[in-house]
């Protein structure tokens, strides 16, 4: 397994674990100010960009309040993965985010992620099919902003 493949695998696992972590839990944690987006699509897009760029605190700002601290604790020891991200260029231009369901009364939505993420390290380039990796992402509206939850 090349360094490139290990980096991509590590990054993909980090983002997948981030989404899975963000999609559970309860509302018992105190709200944390900041983060979120005006639309479900932008919340997911910004969350993924931050996560794939290794910006954990920015990614956490797009996660629902109940999952922020558990996510922060889960990724506290991921220093090697973040260091590897410094060598990576990521192109999100082929990704689309489609609302598959939205309940305005409950303040919830589900987004389908489709397309390929183009990842380049040095001269090597790989496509990550996000359609297969994530399928859908759940969101919740908190403080009038959408967050991955």
For residue 46, give the H/E element and its range. Answer: helix 40-52
- Band the pLDDT of 89: cuts 50, 70, 90: confident
- Band the pLDDT of 74: cuts 50, 70, 90: confident
Question: What pLDDT digit, counting tens, does each position of 41-54 carry?
Answer: 999 999 988 887 77
* Cα separation, 60 vs 65, whole angstroms: 9
**32: nearest Cα among 74, 62, 77:** 62
- Band the pLDDT of 134: cuts 50, 70, 90: confident
Output the pTM of the full model: 0.75
DSSP 78: -
- Band the pLDDT of 105: cuts 50, 70, 90: very high
**pLDDT of the residue at 121:** 80
Domains of the chain: 3-148 (3.10.450)
Residues 121 and 85 sit within 8 Å (Cβ to Cβ)? no
């Amino acid at each position: 397994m090349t360094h490139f493949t290990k980096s991509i695998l590590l990054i993909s696992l980090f983002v997948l674990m981030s989404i899975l972590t963000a999609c559970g839990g309860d509302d018992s944690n105190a709200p944390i100010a900041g983060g979120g987006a005006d639309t479900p699509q932008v919340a997911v897009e910004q969350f993924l960009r931050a996560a794939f760029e290794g910006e954990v605190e920015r990614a956490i700002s797009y996660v629902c309040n109940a999952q922020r601290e558990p996510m922060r604790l889960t990724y506290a020891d991921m220093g090697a993965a973040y260091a590897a991200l410094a060598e990576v260029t990521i192109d999100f231009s082929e990704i689309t985010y489609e609302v598959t369901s939205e309940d305005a009364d409950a303040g919830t939505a589900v987004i389908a992620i489709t397309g390929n993420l183009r990842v380049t390290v040095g001269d090597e380039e790989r496509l990550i099919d996000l359609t297969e990796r994530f399928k859908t992402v759940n969101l919740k509206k908190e403080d009038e902003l959408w967050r991955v939850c």
